[in-house]
Structures are given as C-alpha cells and as structure tokens.
Amino acid sequence: QVQLVESGGGLVQPGGSLRLSCAVSGSIFSVYAMAWYRQAPGKQRELVAVISSGGSTNYADSVKGRFTISRDNAKNTVYLQMNSLKPEDTAVYYCNRASAPYFTWGQGTQVTVSS
C-alpha cells in the first residue's frame, strides 16, 4: 500500500520561504506524474504544481514564478520550494499523483503565512 508523508510546513512571515517534502513509499515512484495540492479553510482542494515522470513542470497561475516543484526518484521524494510567500498561500499542503486514480491521501503539512 502506498503511503504519502508530507513535511516541512510551518509559520512564516510574508515574503518568506519554505521547502516542503513528500516521501512516497510502496510504489514504483518514478513512473508517476506527481503533484502538490493545497486546501485552505472553507475552500476546495486545489492543484498547485505538477511534475511529470520526465521532470516537466506546470504551475497554477497563482504560484507561477514563486513555487518550484522537483523530484528525486532515487529518494522517492517530491519537493515544493515556496518563495515570496503570501498570506493567501496559507493552507494544508498535500502531495499525490497528478491524476486519478489517486493514492490514499496523507495527513498533509500546514503552511501559515502571517506577520
């Protein structure tokens, strides 16, 4: 069974940076396109960034130019480097496959951007 474990969240001031990690166990990680998602209080989960098995990337317009998704297939890990953070980036961040069928969702990691 695939397990997703997100980490790296925290409280940061506007303009600050965080690097999120997602460890993926129990699957042939390298063959899947992976993505980061986020869910703010009272809102639906939204797609933030995608990375293909070959390393191509795509981003939501709201984070383009500020966030960078990457992957290390040797470590079965996906990363999200977040720079120039804004209060509206506050959410629980999750990783998963970029399309259905999804793995069982992990617990996510909380990112709070506030002064």
pLDDT band at 1; cut points 50, 70, 90: confident
Residues ≥6 apart with Cβ < 8 Å to 67: 48, 49, 59, 80, 81, 82, 83
pLDDT (average), residues 10-35: 94
Q: Say if residue 67's pLDDT is above 80.
A: yes
Phi and psi based region of residue 89 (left: phi greater than 0; alpha: psi -120 to 50; beta: remaining): alpha
pLDDT (average), residues 69-76: 95
**Residue 97: both structure tokens together:** 């496959």
Residue 26: its pLDDT value, please? 76
Residues ≥6 apart with Cβ < 8 Å to 108: 6, 39, 92, 93, 94
Return d(Cα 88, Cα 100) in angstroms, integer.
27
Q: Say if residue 5's pLDDT is above 90.
A: yes
